[in-house]
């Protein structure tokens, strides 16, 4: 009976190169190989190579004292796929560890015994008729004396508690060499063999700080040990110094900042195209951030904590990342489109591609600035532009120094698409903590099969505060000598300010600047006043158009140096931000609000729709917030263009339509 995949075992035993001897494998007598020559083994079987009913066998080959066996199989290796198996054991009579279990057409290749014997065990269903494979047995000298221990090292996976253990320069596994990875709770023991740890490299898991070494032996004696290494969970289980569970929420007066700043694209379901720099450090959930990402679905998302993707299931927050939109579960939840490490203002399905404007700006003067992200009159996805009563308008405000968070909702309606649900509040980096403004259900989603929580809101605001997120909390990385460090770009200088708490033993302060926050260059110095003081430094040599990074280093009289955190100045916000025209339409007067970082002069130009100049006025702006009232009573009813220019640079910083009515 021929089934297409047939087997014949051929055994040659050449005691000398000129003398051969046939050994039949169905005879299970152990064979001792002579190491004076290369040895081949075969079995001629019956006529046409048919084993008839004698295919099953177990055969042990042993090497003389001082040698080990090596077997090299031919590249052609064929057994009956379903039923024929060749098993090879490291040791006699099949009772020792299994080296391999082979079938089909994959050759075992080269097999070495760490001991002095190899056992072949073959089983079939009695239908093998054609040649299958050959094997060559040879001898190699066994190890002697004391092995070389080698050097141990370990590579810890970033986000899972596993370590890959490796040795270099030691005695290799092979004839008579055996080794065992061992672990212990301390670097002095007690040591235990790790289950399965007889290969190199070896991958294992750990939960607590664990120490590892390798024990190497020659023929089971003369143990030597490598150096000791340790595995510690440095990622995957971060320490949270200021959990969102410590935050308190309370209602505050609804108060919108003027809609000013950089306008973002109109893409739907994304984090917008770049990280936005606040201009000051901000503490959220115990970690310090310099910026984050505006989400098209009215949320502000911070960088993910390493090992905890915060967009969908496996994605880390980054510019241009698609967020999707579903709410299958209420917060807190991991692995859904509800972003983690985020301020949800709320998270719901709006569509900026249908209309409205998204902006951001940093307003105010250090050390009391605030970062504001604004969503203005954004239609709800699926409900289109025919329902302005449910358009979303809202802001997220982040405050320098206090690290307070405010969410202001001007209007939030409900569109039944995606069940019309929304989540308002703070969401932790790992999706385990949700801090709502009122309680865990009032402004949360339901998910599942419902009934769904479809809530509306207008002219409402909440403030989130935490005692450990204050200016003296765990986010602050100032050395003991420093009390505060802040800065901003004013006119043609980056102005740095630092305040000291102690100045004993300080010989000088060094101002350092960097273009990459890694490599710093000294740009100035200041001598101490020998008492708590406030210092200012104006850097007029900074590189415009990029973010410049600064730190202040206090040099002690003994040569020790203590540096502040790194402060970025510059970036993606303008020196002058202009609000929308209010009111619009207008009859007699309209107002423009400015927020400026420099003292400057603005020029307001009113033109008709054909570009003809009708009115021009200039306004001196101080640093901070300024409002100007523009009279337009002389204009006839119609549509006009209002341009605002920075008089210093002659740059148009705003261009808006003005509707005049009678």
Q: What is the pLDDT of residues 218-263, one digit of tens each?
A: 877 888 999 999 887 654 556 677 889 999 999 999 998 887 788 8
Residues 220 and 355 in one domain: no
Q: Is the pLDDT of residue 576 over 80?
A: no
Residues 275 and 342 in one domain: yes
Q: What is the pLDDT of residues 290-342, one digit of tens each?
A: 889 999 999 999 988 877 889 998 888 888 888 988 888 999 999 888 999 99
Q: What is the CATH number of the domain that holds 560?
A: 2.60.40.10
Q: Is 540 exposed, middle or buried, given 0-12, 13-18 or 19+ CB atoms closer than 10 A? A: exposed
Query: In the structure, what pLDDT confidence band is assigned to residue 489 with cuts at 50, 70 and 90?
Result: confident
What percentage of the chain carries pLDDT values higher than 70? 82
Instruction: Answer yes or no: is 602 within a domain.
Output: yes
Q: Is the peptide bond before 277 cis (omega within 30 degrees of 0)?
A: no
Model pLDDT, residue 10:
26
Q: What is the CATH number of the domain that holds 46?
A: 2.60.120.290
Q: What is the 3-state secondary structure (H, E, C) of 217-286?
A: EECCEEEEECCCEEECCCCCCCCCCCCHHHCEEEEECCCCCCCCCEECCCCCCEECCCCEEEEEEEEECC
Residues 207 and 300 in one domain: no
Q: Which two tokens stand for residue 376?
A: 């203005």
Sign of CA dihedral 195, 201, 205, 209: positive
Residues 128 and 209 in one domain: no
Instruction: Answer yes or no: is 294 within a domain.
Output: yes
| φ/ψ bin of 198: left (φ > 0), alpha (ψ from -120 to 50), beta (otherwise) | alpha
> Minimum mean pLDDT among 13-22, 97-106, 208-217, 386-395: which range?
13-22
Give the whole-angstrom CA distance, residue 134 versus residue 76: 8
Residue 135 structural domain: 9-141
Q: Is the pLDDT of residue 5 over 70?
A: no
Instruction: Answer yes or no: is 477 within a domain.
Output: no
Residues 605 and 501 in one domain: no
| Residue where a domain terminates, one of 116, 141, 166 | 141
| Residue where a domain terminates, one of 569, 599, 629 | 569
Distances (CA, A) of 573 to 50, 321, 395: 85, 22, 17
Distance from the Cα of residue 44 to its chain's centroid: 62
Model pLDDT, residue 447:
83
394-404 residues labelled b (16+ CB within 10 A) or e (exposed): bbbbbbbbbbb
Q: Is the pLDDT of residue 114 over 80?
A: no
Residues 363 and 428 in one domain: yes
Residues 389 and 271 in one domain: yes
Q: Determine the average pLDDT of the residues in 524-532.
A: 92
Q: Which two tokens stand for residue 47?
A: 């006529």
| Residue where a domain terminates, one of 536, 552, 569 | 569
Instruction: Answer yes or no: is 374 within a domain.
Output: yes
Residues 308 and 440 in one domain: yes
User: Of 507, 549, 510, 546, whose CA–CA distance to 530 is shortest?
Assistant: 507
Residues 277 and 405 in one domain: yes
Residues 315 and 385 in one domain: yes
Say which residue the tokens 């403030």 belong to.
463
Q: Is the peptide bond before 190 cis (omega within 30 degrees of 0)?
A: yes
Q: Which two tokens stand for residue 416?
A: 């039944």
DSSP per residue, 94-145: G-S-EEEEE-TT----EEE-SSSEEEEEEE--S---S--EEEEEEEEEPP-S
Give the whole-angstrom CA distance, residue 72 versus residue 94: 19
Instruction: Answer yes or no: is 236 within a domain.
Output: no
Q: Is the pLDDT of residue 526 over 60?
A: yes
Residues 580 and 564 in one domain: no
Q: By the 8 A CB rule, do 515 and 548 touch?
A: yes
Give the whole-angstrom CA distance, residue 621 versus residue 576: 9
Beta strands 457-465; 506-514: pairing state: unpaired
Give the whole-angstrom CA distance, residue 420 versus residue 653: 38
Q: By the 8 A CB rule, do 617 and 581 touch?
A: no
Q: Is the pLDDT of residue 51 over 50?
A: no
Q: What is the pLDDT of residues 60-104, one digit of tens each?
A: 777 777 777 777 777 766 666 566 778 888 777 666 778 888 877
| Number of domains comprising the chain | 5
Query: In the structure, what pLDDT confidence band is assigned to residue 137 with cuts at 50, 70 and 90?
Result: confident
Query: In the structure, what pLDDT confidence band is assigned to residue 184 with cuts at 50, 70 and 90?
Result: very high
Q: Is the pLDDT of residue 45 over 50?
A: no
Model pLDDT, residue 539:
94
Instruction: Answer yes or no: is 633 within a domain.
Output: yes
Instruction: Answer yes or no: is 238 within a domain.
Output: no
Instruction: Answer yes or no: is 475 within a domain.
Output: no
Q: By the 8 A CB rule, do 600 and 653 touch?
A: no
Residues 118 and 136 in one domain: yes
> What's this model's pTM, rounded to 2 decimal places?
0.58
């Amino acid at each position: 009976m021929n089934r297409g995949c047939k087997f014949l075992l051929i055994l040659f035993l050449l005691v000398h190169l000129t003398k051969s001897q046939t050994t039949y494998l169905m005879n299970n007598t152990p064979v001792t190989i002579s190491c004076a020559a290369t040895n081949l083994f075969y079995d001629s079987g019956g006529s046409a190579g048919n084993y008839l009913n004698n295919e099953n066998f177990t055969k042990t080959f042993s090497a003389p004292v001082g040698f080990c066996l090596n077997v090299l199989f031919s590249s052609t290796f064929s057994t009956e796929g379903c039923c024929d198996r060749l098993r090879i054991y490291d040791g006699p009579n099949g009772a020792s560890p299994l080296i391999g279990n082979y079938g089909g057409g994959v050759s075992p290749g080269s097999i070495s015994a760490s001991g002095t014997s190899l056992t072949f065990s073959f089983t079939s269903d009695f239908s093998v008729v054609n040649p299958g494979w050959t094997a060559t047995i040879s001898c190699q000298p066994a190890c002697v004396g004391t092995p070389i221990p080698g050097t141990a090292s370990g590579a810890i996976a970033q986000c899972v508690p596993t370590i890959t253990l490796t040795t270099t320069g030691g005695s290799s596994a092979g004839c008579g060499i055996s080794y065992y990875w061992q672990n212990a709770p301390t670097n002095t023991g007690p040591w235990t063999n790790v289950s399965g740890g007889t290969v190199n490299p070896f991958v294992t898991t750990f939960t607590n700080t664990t120490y590892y070494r390798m024990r190497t032996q020659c023929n089971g004696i003369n143990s030597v040990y490598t150096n000791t290494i340790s595995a510690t969970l440095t990622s995957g289980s971060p320490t949270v110094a200021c959990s969102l569970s410590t935050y308190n929420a309370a209602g505050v007066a609804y108060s919108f900042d003027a809609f000013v700043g950089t306008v973002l694209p109109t893409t739907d379901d994304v984090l917008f195209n770049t990280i936005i720099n606040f201009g000051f450090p901000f503490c959220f959930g115990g970690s310090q951030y310099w910026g984050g990402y505006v989400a098209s679905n009215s949320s502000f998302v911070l960088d993910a904590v390493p090992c905890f993707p915060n967009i969908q299931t496996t994605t880390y927050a980054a510019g241009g990342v698609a967020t999707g939109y579903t709410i299958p579960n209420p917060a807190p939840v991991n692995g859904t489109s509800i972003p983690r490490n985020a301020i949800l203002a709320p998270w719901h399905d709006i569509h900026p591609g249908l209309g409205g404007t998204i902006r951001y700006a940093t307003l105010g003067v250090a050390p009391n600035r605030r970062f504001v992200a604004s969503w203005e009159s954004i239609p709800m996805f699926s409900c289109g532009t025919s329902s302005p009563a449910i358009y979303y308008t809202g802001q997220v405000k982040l405050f320098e120094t206090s690290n307070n968070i405010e969410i202001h909702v001007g209007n939030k309606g409900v569109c039944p698409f995606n069940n019309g649900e929304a989540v308002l509040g703070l969401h932790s980096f790992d999706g385990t903590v949700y801090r709502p403004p009122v309680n865990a259900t009032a402004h949360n989603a339901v998910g599942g099969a419902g009934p769904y929580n479809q809530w509306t809101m207008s002219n409402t605001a909440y403030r989130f505060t935490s005692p450990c997120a204050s200016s003296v909390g765990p986010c602050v990385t100032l050395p003991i000598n420093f009390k505060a460090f802040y800065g901003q770009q004013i006119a043609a200088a980056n102005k740095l300010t630092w305040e000291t708490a102690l100045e004993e033993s300080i010989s000088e302060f060094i101002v350092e600047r960097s273009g990459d926050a890694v490599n710093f260059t000294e740009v100035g110095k200041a001598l101490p006043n020998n008492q708590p003081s406030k210092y200012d430094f104006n850097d007029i040599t900074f590189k415009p158009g990029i973010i410049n990074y600064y730190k202040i280093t206090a040099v002690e009289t003994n040569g020790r140096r203590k540096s502040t955190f790194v402060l970025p100045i510059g970036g993606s916000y303008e020196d002058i931000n202009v609000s929308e025209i209010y009111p619009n339409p207008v009859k007699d007067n309209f107002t423009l609000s400015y927020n400026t970082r420099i003292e400057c002069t603005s020029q307001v130009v009113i033109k008709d729709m054909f570009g003809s100049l009708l009115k021009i006025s200039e306004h001196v702006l101080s640093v901070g917030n300024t409002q100007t009232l523009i009279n337009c009573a002389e204009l006839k009813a119609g549509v006009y263009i209002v341009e605002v220019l920075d008089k210093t640079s002659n740059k148009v910083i705003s261009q808006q339509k003005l509707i005049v009515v009678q």
